[in-house]
Structure 1
Amino acid sequence: MNEHVYTPEEKRKRIFGIVGAASGNLVEWFDFYIYAFFAVYFQQALTSPSMASGTKQIYVWGVFAASFFMRPIGSWLFGRIADKHGRKSSMVTSIFLMALSSFLFAMLPTYEQVGIFAPFLLLIVRLLQGLSVGGEYGAVATYMSEIALKGHRGFYASFQYVTLSGGQLLASVLGVILLFFMSEQQLQAGGWRIPFVIGGITALLSLVARSRLEETLSAEDSHREESGTLKALFRDHWQSFLLVVGYTSAGSLTFYVLTVYSKTYFSSLGLAAKTVGYMMTVALFVYMVMQPVFGMISDRIGRRNSMLLFSSLLAIFIYPVMVIAMPAFSTSPVILTLMLIFLMMILSFYTSISGLIKAEMFPPHVRALGVGFSYAVANAIFGGSAPAVALQFKDSGHEYTFFIYVIVMLIICFFCSMKLPKEPEYLHHDH
């Protein structure tokens, strides 16, 4: 393998670029996931008191799912900006939008104050967050794949999910801290606003860091007439688009099952909210730390092999672990946490290179759009809907059938992964 030799200055610039893009990504996802971790507290304030508890839960998770349907619009809008005006412009604009929507979330009026407008305003602000995150993924995945050091792209690109899961982890840690200092009643009475204020402030700080990044899009690519257009994407690269949607569907679905829905799942096994908070925090920390390791593994064994391992192993283990083993050990939080970490390890074969395997499928002039739009479409249909779909299965008394659906999606992902290039050499050339 031919190693490209970088000067210390080149290395420093590229690593600063990775850190700058990743830090913004951390903030974006922290702000986005605060919703999932604090939904149980603000659902009382923002929905009708006459609603049944189960209906409130379904509405709040329905809004969570609805925000994912803004992602394709966000990915198209910000993907076009990234491919036409530069990756940096796109990342700066998306983080500004996230700061704005976080502050708006913190100021939402309650149902008691404005009646039926409260759940409606909740939906509007959440859709703004979905728009912002829709633009974030494609631009960051593209930027990190372009600025990463050759031969180590899997390792460097893994920091997208280090920060993505780090955002989740911080949201979880914040939940544990606030529960330590405040009662559940205090959180329901308005304490749930605090995380959104913190999220808005950190987004503004990240905005400053991103404004200093170096651009990776060439003038030649930005001036092409078809740069960042859906027409060019679907005319010339529709096969790559469908393939990325195919393997992202299972990746997003399993990611949300393990990192978001498992919180609800553990609660249904009879564990206390604080205990579940500790379990998720530990599991998410281990998961975050694992990403660079699995990124390095992909640099050795190839993206295709990583994807085949992810889809086959998770299809084999997810049902016996979630449906048989977890209920059997429902009295042991430690064993449950270890089982969740085991499934997250298998998921890491995918998440560590998730952005990179998409970015390597498209040329620079439609790369951010191709990555972001395909990810957003798959995520909207299969990812964001995961908690709501799982709850619907549960309500109908067929909770375990949901995991059969997950396995079917993983099998589809396995066949899509078979289409990826076989030789690891393609990991090391510049695009």
Structure 2
Amino acid sequence: MTTLSQPASTPSTESDVERRTRLRTVVAASLLGTTVEWYDFFLYATAASLVFNQLFFPDQTSFVGTMLAFATFAVGFVVRPIGGVVFGHIGDRIGRKKTLALTMFIMGIATALMGVLPTAEQVGVLAPVLLLLLRILQGFALGGEWAGAVLLAVEHSSAHRRGLFGSIPQIGLALGLALGTGVFAALQVIFDDTQFLSYGWRIAFLLSLILVIIGFVVRLKVEETPAFREVHDLQTRSSAPLKDVFRGRVRRSSVLGLLSRWGEGAAFNTWGVFAITYATNNLEFAKVPVLLAVTIAALVMAVLLPFSGLLVDRYGAQKIYIIGIAAYGLAVFPTFGLFGTENLVLFTVALVLVFGIFHALFYGAQGTLYASLYPTEIRYTGLSVVYQFSGIYASGVTPMILTALIAVGGGTPWLACGYLVATSVVSVAATSAIRKQDLYL
């Protein structure tokens, strides 16, 4: 296995106009694709706390129904590593472009089918089984999406703009979450409770088809990355990318990357997923204002992510990631303290601060940081392994852990806060342990 220290450069014959056109297409393909895929994935998360616990697990208590809905949510994260390994291998062997088109197609079909699923009242136990199968498909597709989108942007960028381009796919996550919660909020305003539970929620899932078609067309227009083309031309592709991710000096980077993501994954699924359930069940806020609060925070994050990328280009991805994760850890207890005032305005302000601002700081640095851990020929697999395997413990089970800890704590959030602070400490320590000689970009 060879180790390329820099992405391949674009042909010297490329004019400035051609270069700008290529980069605009890259940005559009990366941003639109991740927006659509995260809209699909987190639409399920929103529905899990507001719809699926009632329509697919209706015979359970409120607590058990919510836990079961979150359990199917977590399944998507358990399957994502499998998708990451499969699509990572494909992406490192045949290219980024084709792999990303395939992941988008699978995700779109799975999400649209959720919009026509029969409920437990109609087909009994078959309903949650079908829901689970489609969630598995979602997780499988998303397993190969994030790494490919990051590489599409980073490997097309110049060295002095790598941080900015690496933040572009992250904007898609924030926009996807905002779009998902925003659509759900709008549908609940348009329809009354009976209409929404009957058919209104399905519209949000069926809209995915339109978004997928747009994103699919744009991705077909993008060129393969220069870095992969060089690996392909030199025939230096790895024959076993997954094994190489855990060999030699790269093995240390993989372990540290897996640990460093714990805080980010826990933070996102706390503020973007669990907070919705906590606010509607524990704080007894109305659903629409809570969804709007999450939407506002996600939009703030989307706006600030490019600024995080610019900071990365100036100060380095590792430093910006550490500062952001540390700020999140320090903000956990005060955030839940503001939640406890049961004031919707303060709830929104706290969410915008910790999710919209602090999360943007470290999330914008994450793609560039993890891309730097691997040489080109195993980079797709490496990013997928770090992001998707850590998703099981860092992301997927977080809503369940927090729900259980609050129950154990007699309804108070402080045990849950302690857990979140611990994830921040682990992430800061692991990221700090990454050495300059471990980086390939």
Query: Which amino acid is the alignment partner of residue 341 of structure 1?
Result: V
Please list, as runs of the form range in 1=range in 2, the aligned pairs for 1:11-410 lying within 5 A after superposition: 11-39=20-48, 40-47=50-57, 49-216=58-225, 217-218=228-229, 220-221=231-232, 223-224=235-236, 226-227=238-239, 229-236=241-248, 237-267=250-280, 268-322=282-336, 324-328=337-341, 330-331=342-343, 333-344=344-355, 345-396=357-408, 397=410, 399-410=413-424
Q: Deviations over 1:58-90 (max 9, x none)?
A: 111110011100110010011111100000011
Deviation of the 1:228 alpha carbon: 5.5
- 1:105-153 alpha-carbon deviations (Å, 9 max, x no partner): 1221221222111111111101100111111011111221101232121
CA contact (8 A) 2:114 2:205 kept: yes
8 Å CA contact retained: 2:181, 2:294: yes
* CA gap 1:231/1:27 in 2 versus in 1, 3 angstroms: same
RMSD: 2.0
Structure 1 position 221, deviation (Å): 4.1
- Quote the Cα distance in structure 1 between the aligned partners of 2:172 and 2:310: 17
Measure how far apart 1:200 and its partner are: 2.4
Contact 1:45 1:189 in 2 (8 A): no
Aligned-partner Cα distance in 2 for 1:270–1:103:
31
Deviation at 1:227, TM superposition (A): 4.4
Distance 1:111 1:312 in 2: 44
Over 3 Å counting, the alpha-carbon distance change for 1:24 and 1:307 in structure 2 is same
Moved over 6 A (4+): none
Say whether the 8 Å CA contact 2:52–2:69 is kept in structure 1: no
For structure 2, list consecutive stretches of 5 or more residues without a partner in the other structure.
1-8
Three-state SS of the structure 1 residue aligned to 2:433 is coil
Q: CA deviation at 1:375?
A: 0.7
* SS state at 1:190 partner: helix
Residue 347 to residue 161, structure 1, CA distance change in 2 (3 Å): same
Deviations 1:285-305 (A, max 9, x none): 111111111111121121122
Contact 1:84-1:228 within 8 A present in 2 as well: no
- TM-score, normalization by structure 1: 0.92
**Equivalent residues, number:** 419
Cα 1:219–1:185 shift into 2, 3 Å: same
Amino acid at match of 1:190: Y
CA distance in 1, matches of 2:301, 2:288: 20
Q: Is the 8 A contact 1:75 1:135 kept in 2?
A: yes
Equivalent-residue separation in structure 1 for 2:24 and 2:76 (angstroms): 32
TM-superposition CA deviations, 1:248-293 (whole Å, max 9, x none): 1111111111221122222222311122122112111111111111
Paired amino acid for 2:326:
S
TM-score w.r.t. the length of structure 2 is 0.90
Identity within the alignment, %: 26
Cα drift, residue 202 of structure 1: 1.3
User: For the residues of structure 2 that align with 1:411 and 1:276, how far apart are their CA atoms?
Assistant: 29
Choose 189-198 or 363-372, whichever is displaced more.
Answer: 189-198
